[in-house]
Homo-oligomer: A and B are copies of this chain.
Amino acid sequence: MAVGFPPAMGLTVVGSIAFDAVKTPFGERERMLGGSAVHFALAASFFAEVRVVGPVGDDFGEAEYAVLRERGVNVDDIERVEGGKTFFWAGEYHWDLNSRDTLDTQLGVFADFDPKLSPAAQGAETLFLANIQPDLQRRVRALCGEARLVGLDSMNLWIETAREALLHAIAEVDFVFMNDAELRQLTGQPNLVRSAREVLALGPRAVVAKQGEYGAALFTPEGFFALPAYPLETVVDPTGAGDSFAGGFLGYLAAQGADAQVDERMLRRAMTYGSVLASFNVEEFGTERVQRLTPEEIDARFEEFRSMTSFEAVESA
């Protein structure tokens, strides 16, 4: 599946490319490849031809490019800033991995990020606006005139500092991927269902509430669907799970081609591929597990999801 996608499958992601230092109860890494655009791109690369747009410093080396290239990700739109430093994030997860402390953030070249997209990147049918400043998201959205499947992520920082811009950005996309707590914060609605409905009313065709270890819920004007997280006995590093989810979700949709009707059934399958990719992502540190993931493993876990959520199925893995 990894090579030779038809042109309709073009998928552009704009977001952070980073070095992460992560400590969890299961170990630590002092410096590994990370960032929202990277996690998204690797996950989506199993379904579509992905272009990454984002800045790196001159500390970003061949080994890092190689991780992306080996998954067939197009790195031509990665902007290398000479003399600059790549975005660095350090965090530590607590006992049950459901909360974390940020220990260090060095924005580096990300501080002055002004997205530039090649014509090829602008021509993508599918676009993911990873968690960056909402005005930048809107600018990128406007550049990609042919994108008909556009997703967006955000975070508490932008809800607090750029709420109006974020509301405008949401109105211009098709899919919103946010944590349930962020949806509540954005709308001031303690009830998740009402909160998601308020966000839907802004314009997107679906809202995905990410719920960490509890899975994810899909809200559309027509319905509701929810999937548990895959029941892993060991979660090593949750970093990037949300972006991997979005990568599986939008990658799958991109792969259906321009003529496919994005209906409820297709969205439920997208939710499942998102959950599958997120579940692999957290099995090891950073990108380690997804780097050696295979399409066969993805298919097998997809079927496990079907069996573990079906009323009728009696078999499970």
Chain A residues with CB under 8 Å of chain B are 25, 95-97, 184, 190-194, 197, 211, 213-215, 217, 222-226, 228, 231-235, 263-265, 268-269, 272, 305-316
Contacts and interface: CB of A to CB of B under 8 A. Distances in A.
Nearest to A263: B314
Nearest to A97: B190
A214 B314 CA distance: 23
A217 B308 CA distance: 10
Contact of A190 (B96, B214, B309, B315): B96
Nearest to A222: B316
Contact of A217 (B197, B231, B315): B231
Contact of A233 (B193, B234, B272): B193
11 contacts: A191-B232, A191-B234, A191-B235, A194-B233, A223-B307, A224-B308, A225-B308, A226-B308, A226-B309, A305-B311, A309-B309
In the complex, the count of this chain's copies comes to 2
A230 to B, nearest CB: 9
A316 B224 contact: yes
Contact of A25 (B190, B228, B314): B190
Contacts of A190: 25, 95-97
A190 B193 CA distance: 28
Nearest to A219: B231
Given A217-B228, A314-B263, A233 B308 contact: no
Nearest to A214: B214
A311 B269 contact: yes
Contact of A308 (B191, B223, B314, B315): B223
Contacts of A234: 191, 194
Contacts of A235: 191
A85 to B, nearest CB: 34
A310 B310 contact: yes
Contact of A268 (B211, B269, B305, B311): B311
Contacts of A310: 268, 309-311
B264 A232 contact: no
A193 B231 contact: yes
Nearest to A265: B314
A313 B214 CA distance: 22
Contacts of A193: 231-233
A311 B312 contact: no
A195 to B, nearest CB: 10
Given A263-B314, A265-B314, A233 B309 contact: no
A228 B211 CA distance: 11
B314 A311 contact: no
Given A184-B96, A233-B197, A314 B264 contact: yes
Contacts of A232: 191, 193
Nearest to A268: B311
A225 B309 CA distance: 6
Nearest to A213: B192
